[in-house]
């Protein structure tokens, strides 16, 4: 079924019901509120942070309204195995990107839909290494988080159970943890809402944009920005890859990508000339995506067609690599305007020397691994990034952070942030599980504060 254009123009969540994303053609009840009815929480953004927080707050009895800029899709009917129409899921609005290493924005790091990027993410749900929560104190780089890893372990358990995450019986890295709910998979070869509290959950680009664009006489530098750090310390994750051809058929498109993962270089600190770490994992690009990657090598026409004939024999390894927080990497407001007359974002990004050393180490290591597996015609994909974090960091000091450990603004007590923008550091794993765990923690802390009369 082709994508319905109506979802882009007419809200599907209306008249007391919303799409049931788990059942074709189904609907689920949805509570609605009158415009003059005050609610407890307004959440702007429904991705991994906003949606998780909305769920947990509603379960505690709070009244919640959530807003999203994107459509409410029915993934089972509209996107299965259709690469072209999947482009509707991404945030492809115009942004200006500059710096020494301008970022590519879109499918690799964003989502524009009810559910945000969780609508299309591959559900790689990895925990942060415990030391990363105190990486400045324990590892000598980055910034310490204002939360303890043991507390986060509890919320990781909660999210993994809720999402029925699959994994090995004994995870080979880090401290002991509960068993995953499921065993490992087989490997393949704008509204007016009265609210007592507002939660911004637009992720690392749109969250600072919304805060900065909301500047007024009382907050001339933008909301929650007394520290001057809103929009600063943007962190991506490096996403370089090596590719090769195997004699055997691989057919990596059969099943999700990233079914085989190693965190060796996240937990091994010896024999590295850089701070931080990276995970590396198998890859399974779909045909159109693979053709686009080959275009990046300069292959077109006959040469592209000849290379595509090897598609079923292609194998690849790709990293999710840590980059360091730098204030020069930032999100600011541009002079150009969007379709609503509001400033678009300018995204400035440059790798530091440490980032470059990590990338070089990973490419060398993965190339050796692919050669050992019998890979031939090996080449490197060096210009790719993924996952956006930082820009509204959490901390213990209002002078050096935007929100506290609960995601609560230091400047405006009824303004909260719940997404990857609060990360002080980014780690070398996909961030979604940590975003969801932080959302569960924030929901729990809101309940505790409410019981004390401290909201």
Provide the token pair at 229.
Answer: 């750090």
- Quick one: pLDDT at residue 75? 79
- Quick one: pLDDT at residue 110? 80
- Quick one: pLDDT at residue 285? 85
Residue 380 domain flag: yes
- Dihedral in degrees, nearest 10, Cα atoms 132, 138, 141, 147: 40
Residue 418 domain flag: yes
- Quick one: pLDDT at residue 415? 97
Walk across the sheet containing 195-200 and list its strands: 64-67, 39-44, 195-200, 415-417
- Quick one: pLDDT at residue 359? 97
202 closest CA partner among 431, 418, 432, 442: 418
What DSSP letter does each residue of 40-59 carry, written as one string? EEEEE--SHHHHHHHHHHHH
Taking the whole predicted model, whether its pTM rises above 0.75 is answered as yes
Q: Tell me how far apart the alpha carbons of residues 438 and 419 are, in angstroms, rounded to a whole number.
A: 8
CB atoms within 10 A of CB 221: 13
- Supply the angle between the helices 287-295 and 301-308 in degrees, to the nearest 10: 130
Q: Tell me how far apart the alpha carbons of residues 455 and 453 are, in angstroms, rounded to a whole number.
A: 6
Domain span including residue 216? 6-451
- Quick one: pLDDT at residue 81? 63
Q: Are 13 and 19 in contact (CB under 8 A)?
A: yes
Residue 107 domain flag: yes
Residue 171 domain flag: yes
Residue 1 domain flag: no
- Quick one: pLDDT at residue 340? 86
Residue 39 domain flag: yes
**pLDDT block averages, 10 residues each, the chain of length 455:** 63 89 90 90 93 95 92 80 76 88 82 84 89 95 96 95 89 90 68 80 95 95 97 96 93 77 94 95 87 90 93 94 97 94 96 97 96 94 91 97 98 96 97 96 96 93
- Supply the angle between the helices 432-451 and 48-59 in degrees, to the nearest 10: 30
Q: Are 203 and 46 in contact (CB under 8 A)?
A: no
Per residue, what are the HEC states of 332-371? EEEEEECCCCCEEEEEECCCCHHHHHHHHHHHHHHHHHHH
Q: Are 202 and 389 in contact (CB under 8 A)?
A: no
Provide the token pair at 277.
Answer: 């770490």
- Region of 10 (left: φ > 0; alpha: ψ -120 to 50; beta: rest) is beta
Number of domains, the chain: 1
Q: Judge whether 387 counts as a catalytic residue.
A: yes
Residue 110 domain flag: yes
Residue 144 domain flag: yes
Check 17, 313, 387, 444 and give the catalytic one.
387
Q: Are 90 and 366 in contact (CB under 8 A)?
A: no
Task: Supply the CATH number for residue 260's domain.
Answer: 3.50.50.60
Q: Are 258 and 282 in contact (CB under 8 A)?
A: yes
Q: Are 16 and 30 in contact (CB under 8 A)?
A: yes
């Amino acid at each position: 079924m082709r994508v319905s254009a109506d979802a882009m123009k007419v809200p599907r969540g209306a008249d007391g019901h919303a799409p049931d994303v788990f059942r074709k053609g189904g609907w689920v009840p949805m509570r609605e509120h009158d415009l003059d009815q005050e609610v407890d929480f307004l959440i702007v953004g429904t991705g991994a942070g906003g949606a998780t927080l909305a769920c947990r707050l509603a379960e505690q009895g709070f009244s919640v309204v959530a807003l999203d800029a994107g459509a409410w899709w029915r993934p089972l009917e509209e996107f299965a195995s259709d690469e072209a129409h999947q482009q509707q899921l991404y945030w492809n609005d115009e942004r200006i990107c500059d710096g020494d290493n301008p970022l590519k924005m879109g499918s690799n790091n964003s989502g524009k839909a009810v559910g945000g990027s969780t609508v299309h993410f591959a559900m790689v749900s990895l925990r942060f290494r415990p030391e990363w929560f105190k990486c400045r104190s324990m590892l000598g780089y980055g910034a310490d988080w204002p939360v303890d890893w043991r507390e986060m372990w509890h919320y990781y358990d909660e999210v993994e159970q809720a999402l029925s995450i699959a994994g090995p019986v004994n995870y080979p890295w880090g401290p002991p943890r509960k068993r995953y709910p499921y065993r490992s998979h087989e490997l393949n070869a704008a509204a007016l809402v009265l609210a007592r509290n507002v939660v911004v959950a637009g992720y690392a680009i749109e969250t600072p944009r919304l805060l900065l664009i909301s500047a007024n006489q009382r907050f001339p530098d933008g909301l929650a920005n007394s520290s001057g750090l809103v929009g600063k310390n943007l962190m991506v994750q490096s996403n370089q890859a090596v590719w090769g051809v195997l004699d055997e058929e691989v057919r990596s498109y059969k099943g999700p990508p990233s079914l085989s993962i190693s965190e060796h270089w996240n937990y091994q600190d010896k024999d590295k000339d850089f701070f931080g770490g990276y995970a590396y994992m198998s890859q399974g690009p779909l045909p159109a995506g693979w053709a686009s990657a080959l275009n990046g090598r300069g292959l077109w026409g006959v040469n592209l067609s000849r290379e595509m004939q090897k598609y079923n024999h292609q194998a690849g390894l790709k990293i999710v690599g840590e980059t360091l927080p730098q204030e020069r990497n930032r999100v600011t407001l541009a002079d150009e305007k969007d379709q609503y007359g509001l400033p678009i974002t300018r995204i400035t990004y440059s790798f530091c020397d440490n980032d470059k050393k990590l990338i070089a180490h990973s490419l060398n290591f993965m190339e050796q691994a692919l050669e050992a597996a019998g890979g031939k015609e090996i080449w490197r994909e060096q210009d790719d990034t993924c996952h956006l974090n930082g820009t509204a960091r959490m901390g213990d000091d209002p002078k050096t952070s935007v929100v506290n450990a609960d995601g609560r603004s230091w400047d405006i007590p009824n303004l909260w942030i719940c997404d990857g923008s609060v990360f002080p550091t980014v780690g070398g794993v996909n961030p979604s599980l940590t975003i969801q765990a932080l959302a569960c923690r924030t929901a729990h802390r809101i309940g505790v504060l409410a019981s004390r009369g401290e909201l």
